[in-house]
Amino acid sequence: MSNTQNLFNKVWDLHAVKTLESGQDQLLIGLHLIHEVTSPQAFEMLRDRGLKVLFPERTIATVDHIVPTQNQARPFEDNLAEQMMSAIEKNCAEFGVTLLDVSDDRQGIVHVVGPEQGLTQPGMTIVCGDSHTSTHGAFGSIALGIGTSQVAHVLATQTMALGRPKVRQVKVNGELGPGVTAKDVTLYIIRKLGVQGGVGYAYEYAGDVFDRMTMEERMTVCNMSIEGGARCGYINPDQTTVDYLRGRPHAPQGEAFEKAAEWWLSLASGPDAEFDDVVEFDAADIEPTVTWGITPAQSVGVSESLPAVSSYPADEQTLIKEAYRYMELEENQPIKGQKIDVAFIGSCTNSRISDLREAAKVVEGRHVAEHVKALVVPGSQLVRKQAIEEGLDKIFIEAGFEWREAGCSMCLAMNPDKLVGNQLCASSSNRNFKGRQGSPTGRTLLMSPTMVAAAAVSGCVTDVRELSGAATA
């Protein structure tokens, strides 16, 4: 491997089987994660052609999108959800694929489960029929969301055809201020580069801000890469990565782990690595961030007012006006003080134990505003168990939150957790598209878990830094 190669190109070349006539590369896929929504049709494609899953040991299934987070008794009340659950149970049994279902204490959101089980490792190629597969890039892997037909292709061949994207290094250096989290960093990057800014690129996140982040914070950043248009995002493996993976169920053990760790670290982009583009940001410019519109790029710092329509290029102003109409907001109004109806802490972006710990610090000794419905949904059964062991469930319940079972929940409209009418939700999830949270007129404000917690107890968008004892670094 050349000293001028960045990690992305190193890993790509290591997995390239051959270059196809189309100009695409056929890549070997190291890990295939599947779930109940995008896999049923893929398995049917295999049956129709008389094919088997080529490497079932490289395929892991879990259930998350349609799983109820309150009543999980079978059959599920939602008939379609029950059909999807039955289908993945049947398919995994028939094709020899390991399934982490609701009766398995390893079950949870696919992008939470992979890392916590040690399935996600540096230098891998990872795919899943889900947009936010980029989460796994936090470990220094190439992690890509794919479509249903591609899911079938990977099941059958353990490869897929891909065009190599360019690589952009996104550097953030300096010190983050109090109350500024990984979620704020990624929302800021998307705001600055736009939802189309990453099209045709993989993002390498670099700089001392990412170097100092925990693995769970890095996962939050990489998770949102797709929202900025990037094909994927990654962070170079370092000692933080190694320490996180040590001892996890599917990570190498003993001497094999030490050898693996040495190789993982060798994959990192070196000082002479070349990139197709480099952008730099100053950490001091980032504050707690809130989206106000219908794309993740439409955001402001919590101390800012909403932008004037005239501040946008002429060809973007129609979308901005549409966003203001849909969100029932007005240009130049402050986002701080905006009344909310629902507060949601969860999703593959922000439902890990560190997210719950920080949110609990904000709500402890406080209570959810009378008019607000607030819920906390752990990202996996293991996260939920750990939170209970630490007493976090009691803190949330005493504060007036609903404490739920693991699942995707209110991030998307595929389970019973949905907005009603034009409710406005402070959400720690990743998408604020029209209707995303279950109501065609429901409205979403994306923010960090601590900002959601602050909004829940205040009843409106609040600067978490102003709540006594709630500011976090």
- Residue 473 pLDDT exceeds 60: no
Does the domain made of 166-234+268-285 have the CATH classification 3.40.1060.10? yes
Any residues with CB less than 8 A from the CB of 425 and at least 6 apart, and which? 340, 341, 342, 343, 344, 410, 419, 437, 442, 443, 444, 445
The CATH code that applies to domain 289-466 is 3.30.499.10
pLDDT band for 116, please (50, 70, 90 cuts): very high
The closest of 143, 280, 120, 288 to 215, measured between CA atoms, is: 120
- 222 has binding-site annotation: no
Concatenate the DSSP letters of all residues of 396-452 into one string: HHHTT-EE--SS-GGGSSSSS----TT-EEEE-SS---TTTTS-TT-EEEE--HHHH
SS3 for 83?
A: helix
Predicted confidence at residue 48, as pLDDT, reads 97
Predicted confidence at residue 413, as pLDDT, reads 81
Predicted confidence at residue 471, as pLDDT, reads 47
Q: What is the pLDDT of residues 200-241, one digit of tens each?
A: 999 999 999 999 999 999 999 999 999 999 999 999 999 999
Predicted confidence at residue 3, as pLDDT, reads 85
Predicted confidence at residue 468, as pLDDT, reads 61
Q: Which residues are 300's β-sheet partners?
A: 290
Q: How far is CA 343 from the centre of its chain?
A: 18
d(CA 258, CA 315): 54
- Residue 470 pLDDT exceeds 60: no
In this structure, the chain runs to a length of 473
Sheet of 98-100, strand order: 98-100, 59-62, 31-34, 125-128, 142-145
Structure tokens of 408? 């995707």
- 128 has binding-site annotation: no
Burial readout 107-122 (b: 16 or more C-beta within 10 A, e: otherwise): bbbbbbbbbbbbbbbb
Q: What is the pLDDT of residues 327-372, one digit of tens each?
A: 999 999 999 999 999 999 999 999 999 999 999 999 999 999 999 9
pTM, two decimals, is 0.97
SS3 for 122?
A: coil
Q: How far is CA 337 from the centre of its chain?
A: 27
Q: What is the pLDDT of residues 376-415, one digit of tens each?
A: 999 999 999 999 999 999 999 999 999 999 999 999 989 9
d(CA 190, CA 198): 9
Q: What is the gyration radius of the CA atoms in the chain, in angstroms?
A: 21
Concatenate the DSSP letters of all residues of 134-190 into one string: GGGGGGS-EEEE--HHHHHHHHHHSEEEEPPPEEEEEEEES-PPTT--HHHHHHHHH
Q: What's the average model confidence in pLDDT over 134-149?
A: 98
Q: What's the average model confidence in pLDDT over 439-466?
A: 98
Concatenate the DSSP letters of all residues of 325-364 into one string: HHHT--TT-BSTT-B-SEEEE-TTTS-SHHHHHHHHHHHT
SS3 for 470?
A: coil
Structure tokens of 235? 């962070």
Percent of the chain's residues with pLDDT above 70: 99
Q: What's the average model confidence in pLDDT over 312-336?
A: 97
Same fold, 166-234+268-285 and 289-466: no
Hey, what CATH topology would domain 7-162 get?
A: Aconitase; domain 3 (3.30.499)
Q: What is the pLDDT of residues 21-69, one digit of tens each?
A: 999 999 999 999 999 999 999 999 999 999 999 999 999 999 999 999 9
Percent of the chain's residues with pLDDT above 90: 98
Average pLDDT of the chain, as a whole number: 97
- Residue 141 pLDDT exceeds 50: yes
d(CA 124, CA 141): 5
pLDDT band for 469, please (50, 70, 90 cuts): low
- Residue 465 pLDDT exceeds 80: yes
- 232 has binding-site annotation: no
- Residue 2 pLDDT exceeds 90: no
**Domain extents in the chain:** 7-162, 166-234+268-285, 289-466
